[in-house]
């Protein structure tokens, strides 16, 4: 039986720390993995927004600028075609030069911010179309400079088609940028949805891990508390047995002193008195026998007092109240204390083991007053309340300093006896200083 119990205790006393640390490790790994995943996704979002959407937006602004310049160019070309015959076309050269510089600057900036998905063919087509357009316009102005206005206007009319082709190409790129932005928006929404789903899954896994760890911790704590309760019950039973054995031993020694030694000393005193009666008158033996009788009587009184202090027979014969009436004057006489005894309430019988335990609490409290408090007086109060017996022992001495890690055996015994009576004992400091020991015991214990 005992090896089985020891094995079960060893199994139940295994520390839950490794499992809890493992659960914490899993949770931290999941947290790190989720954080790393979200960091990667957020970095991808930033790269997508910076590399595609932002560049597409800036490129669209430049394309709109180019488109506006091409529109202005088309208006100027129509104005040139609408002028009267005989008016020189060379006067329009400065306007076209200004538009040319602005277009070239727009195309240069557009090439710098063009999206990465722009194909080289598209770029080459725009550049080639632009070069061909300005080559045709230069040729038209050269014809106008030589007086061939009719041929120059025809060249400008043909260049309008190239301008229209350029406008269409720029508009197509604007549409492509718009489509790219829409696709990027869709991709960003997909990434957000994916990250959101991962976050929800991570939260669910984290909550599950925390829940499992908490359930395991609760289960472990319940087992530990059950073991503590079992150990507390075993300790209480052991304390009760030890106190019962102690009281039985003290009662046995008390009876032995009272009966055996008391009878022996009484017999010795009788024998000494009879011997004194038979001694010759005037013999010095009479005084010696009388002195020996006084020593025997003193020893008898001392033995009876020791017997009563170990276990008062009055507790078994007359109960608690009468025992206190005898005990308190004895304490005053032996320790030089002035004890103020107060009793209140309707008395009810307190006998048996309850009387013994209450008497021991009073005895321990008064011993502490006599030995440690330094006080010259004490107050003992016995209150009979409905359903409760209350005992108080108060002094105004130095008090009891109780450190959290150290407890005197006397104080432990007080609490053990109070628990055996299903009662409670408390130590408080009165306003006047010192110590107040208060014991409350339910009636019927």
| 369 vs 363: CA distance, rounded Å | 10
Mean pLDDT of 199-204: 80
Q: Cβ of 394: how many Cβ atoms within 10 Å?
A: 21
Total of domains in the chain: 2
Last residue of a domain, one of 200, 218, 236: 218
Mean pLDDT of 4-27: 60
Mean pLDDT of 352-371: 87
| 143 vs 92: CA distance, rounded Å | 13
Q: Cβ of 185: how many Cβ atoms within 10 Å?
A: 12
Does residue 353 belong to any structural domain of this protein? yes
pLDDT of residue 87 exceeding 70, the answer is no
* Two structure tokens written together for 445: 């214990």
DSSP symbols for 301-347? HHHHHHHHHHS-HHHHHT-HHHHHHHHHHHHHHHH--EEEEEEEE--
Q: Specify whether 56 is located in the same domain as 165.
A: yes
pLDDT band for position 382 (cuts 50, 70, 90):
very high
Domain region containing 55 = 9-218
* Two structure tokens written together for 402: 């109780």
Q: What is the per-residue pLDDT for 391?
A: 93
Q: What is the per-residue pLDDT for 379?
A: 93
pLDDT digits (tens, 9 = 90+) for 270-301: 887 777 777 777 677 777 777 887 887 888 77
As a whole-number percent, the residues of the chain with pLDDT over 70 amount to: 89
Does residue 142 belong to any structural domain of this protein? yes
Mean of per-residue pLDDT scores for the chain: 79
Q: Specify whether 26 is located in the same domain as 164.
A: yes
Does residue 234 belong to any structural domain of this protein? no
* Two structure tokens written together for 232: 């507390």
User: Which letter, b or e, does each residue of 274-303 get, where b requires 16 or more Cβ atoms within 10 Å of its Cβ?
Assistant: eebeebeeeeeebeebeebbeebeebbeeb
Does residue 305 belong to any structural domain of this protein? no
Least confidently predicted of 15-24, 37-46, 188-197, 296-305: 15-24
pLDDT digits (tens, 9 = 90+) for 387-419: 899 999 999 888 765 544 445 556 777 888 888
Does residue 273 belong to any structural domain of this protein? no
Q: Cβ of 246: how many Cβ atoms within 10 Å?
A: 12
pLDDT of residue 93 exceeding 70, the answer is yes
Last residue of a domain, one of 218, 248, 279: 218
Contact 214, 17 (CB under 8 A): no
Does residue 300 belong to any structural domain of this protein? no
Last residue of a domain, one of 218, 234, 250: 218
pLDDT digits (tens, 9 = 90+) for 328-357: 898 888 888 899 999 998 888 887 788 888
Q: Specify whether 211 is located in the same domain as 352.
A: no
pLDDT of residue 154 exceeding 80, the answer is yes
pLDDT of residue 2 exceeding 60, the answer is no
Does residue 364 belong to any structural domain of this protein? yes
Rg (CA), the chain: 56
Q: What is the per-residue pLDDT for 4?
A: 42
Does residue 128 belong to any structural domain of this protein? yes
* Two structure tokens written together for 441: 């015991």
Least confidently predicted of 5-14, 128-137, 362-371, 391-400: 5-14
Least confidently predicted of 99-113, 182-196, 382-396: 182-196
pLDDT of residue 66 exceeding 90, the answer is no
pLDDT digits (tens, 9 = 90+) for 240-259: 788 778 777 877 787 777 77
pLDDT band for position 1 (cuts 50, 70, 90):
very low
Mean pLDDT of 142-159: 82
């Amino acid at each position: 039986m005992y090896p089985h119990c020891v094995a079960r205790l060893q199994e139940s006393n295994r520390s839950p720390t490794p499992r809890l640390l493992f659960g914490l490790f899993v949770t931290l790994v999941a947290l790190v993995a989720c954080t790393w995943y979200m960091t990667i996704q957020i970095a991808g979002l930033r790269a997508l927004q910076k590399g595609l959407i932002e560049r597409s937006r800036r490129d669209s602004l430049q394309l709109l600028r180019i488109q506006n310049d091409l529109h202005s160019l088309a208006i100027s070309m129509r104005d040139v075609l609408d002028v009267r015959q005989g008016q020189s076309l060379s006067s329009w050269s400065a306007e076209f030069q200004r538009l040319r510089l602005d277009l070239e600057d727009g195309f240069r900036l557009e090439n710098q911010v063009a999206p990465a998905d722009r194909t080289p063919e598209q770029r080459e087509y725009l550049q080639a179309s632009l070069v061909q357009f300005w080559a045709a316009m230069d040729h038209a102005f050269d014809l106008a400079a030589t007086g061939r206005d009719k041929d120059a206007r025809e060249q400008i009319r043909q260049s309008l088609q190239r301008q229209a082709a350029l406008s269409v190409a720029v508009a197509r790129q604007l549409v492509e940028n718009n489509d790219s932005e829409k696709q990027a928006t869709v991709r960003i929404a997909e990434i957000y949805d994916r990250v959101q789903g991962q976050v929800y899954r991570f939260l669910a896994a984290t909550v599950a891990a925390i829940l499992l760890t908490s359930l395991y911790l609760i289960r472990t704590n319940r087992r530990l508390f059950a073991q503590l309760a079992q150990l507390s019950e075993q300790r209480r039973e052991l304390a009760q047995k030890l106190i019962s054995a102690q009281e039985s031993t003290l009662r046995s020694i008390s009876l032995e002193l009272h009966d055996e030694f008391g009878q022996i000393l009484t017999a010795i005193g009788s024998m000494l008195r009879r011997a004194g009666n038979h001694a010759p008158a005037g013999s010095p033996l009479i005084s010696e026998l009388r002195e020996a009788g006084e020593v025997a009587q003193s020893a008898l009184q001392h033995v009876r007092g020791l017997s009563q202090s170990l276990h008062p027979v009055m507790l078994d014969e007359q109960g608690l109240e009468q025992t206190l009436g005898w005990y308190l004057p004895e304490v005053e006489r032996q320790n030089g204390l002035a004890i103020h005894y107060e009793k209140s309430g309707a008395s009810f019988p307190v006998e048996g083991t309850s009387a013994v335990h209450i008497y021991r609490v009073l005895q321990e409290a008064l011993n502490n007053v006599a030995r440690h408090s330094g006080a010259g007086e004490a107050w003992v109060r016995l209150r009979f309340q409905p359903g409760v017996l209350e005992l108080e022992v108060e002094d105004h001495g130095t008090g009891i300093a109780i450190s959290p890690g150290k407890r005197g055996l006397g104080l432990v015994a007080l609490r053990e006896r109070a628990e055996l009576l299903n009662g409670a004992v408390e130590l408080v400091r009165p306003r006047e200083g010192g110590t107040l020991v208060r014991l409350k015991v339910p009636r019927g214990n």
